[in-house]
Structure 1
């Protein structure tokens, strides 16, 4: 991946890439290596915009950087096309884990939609097993380099399709073979989580956790449905919960100032609506993806640049903010890049990055003992920097 912000935070006296990270929102079909896409596409006869890895990577980023979630999602036609065989799925999953580890990720949840990978005759169970084989191979490859990483699958249903119950049952069926949670993804606007209410009830009855894409392309109604109908423990993106927050500024000019610090210094009365209060007070994690949110227009209602992203306001107000990449290929970012972006834009320091990372660790779909071990590992790694 390219270093999107190579000159960010020049005064840091620690290596952001070396910091242990937790990745909760990262799509398998959005994190392929361009060179791998080219090789797999040649094998299956799928035409690409370019067969040069650098040019193809640039095409993905430029196509995704349109301000439209619909056009952003169209880039997946090429990645999904090369993920229709056991070999393709396993290779992509293995490399996905290796790339996470190279970015300092020590725990990652990999979300993907099995129903999109059946074009060559594989069954739903076949594709889940193929991805798990690749994830396991990636973990083993990382271990051979003296590092450790733990990963789990978030089995995802496409919200515009009608396979929610089937995919929920698939997720539960593989809970002892790498599946750690359930999600719905795809076109959010017009497809409320209520469509899959029965599937979410099934998951709850089987004590299987769910995170739901909500508050990205649609607003508060989508978030409400994710919590009520989807019984979501986390919100995928969730950034538009900020629409339920009213901020009055002490200085009228501060509200239009481009400097994030000046705005924060002049915030006066902050009023949370009932939904925002519910999300904050119960610690429902927001899986925020800063660069992706800017690309897809998810934060268009708050301003044009990354400095207008409400994540800092949400963080300062005590929301359970976690930082993620969404789709590393399309956004051209890593978690290191996103951390650098926060340091550069909002002047975050090591304590802030630690808190955001611990938020993610504590929101992970892990057994309590493993979660506590992860938190301890992260705390010790940061303490060594002190």
Structure 2
């Protein structure tokens, strides 16, 4: 059957979807590499086009392409890759590498002498009430001063800026324990990468607040994260339960929500707005903020943004599933979606689940990742 001119034009308008790796020569493998490839394939399918594999700078691609980076891009790299707006990628773009890390969740301690080029003290002042008590530091002296002030309220948590899923963190209660962490990092890495020193909380609950823009669709969500035990006996990220609505954050806050979730959404929104206001060049089609509720040693309840993610993450499977529902059903307004990461050989998969990864990783061992959706999405927006 002969195609019409209109259908040919529409076909040509579809982008080439490519996975972009931060370190393409690192011979990627394992569950993380396979997971992002599968998510990229599903995003391409959602866009109505084909996944064309990993970006190769030596290949010639059409000008119209859509990238799925495995890490947040810098403005310079985005420009080189032809990424100009949220319609060009599933992820985000920042003016300086540190903006994409845990470091911007905290300001510098009083009298701090070292900070990276581009550091915004105005941003830190604006977000001080939105995050947990803590500081970022780029020298031993600044790290010691930061910890000394926080120890008055109990132990502190030392966090590497690039840690994922709870990795690269330690709880320290005194100077000897802090020095051991600083020794392990090294002065050169401390100056180049920085470190976060934050009030340690117990009985912690972590919420996710996010927004996704894909083609003509915009969705916002809140959710709760879960921990699980991996094959080495450690507690790690085990998945998220999301409530996803069609539209912007305003659509989300029109839901009838408990106060703690309202607080989490408000702080995430304010943090997101501050990034836009104080770090020129930032934009993101995938914005996810982890917000913690927990008690310190004195029993004081704290609520604050822990970190941000402007790249494919643990909740992306649920995001894709919700967007697929909204695409298929124009009347759908709210979708409940969940992701799970299960360790061990005997993982039970619920009926109707969408598989993201199942296999044996060289380091992690047996691991299974999937997402599920409620069969009946809610119709119609709230009246208020």
* TM-score, shorter chain, exceeding 0.5: no
Richer in helix (by share): 1
Higher relative contact order (CA 8 A, sep 6+): 1
TM-score calculated relative to the size of structure 2 = 0.27
TM-score calculated relative to the size of structure 1 = 0.27
Richer in strand (by share): 2
Q: Which has the larger radius of gyration?
A: 2
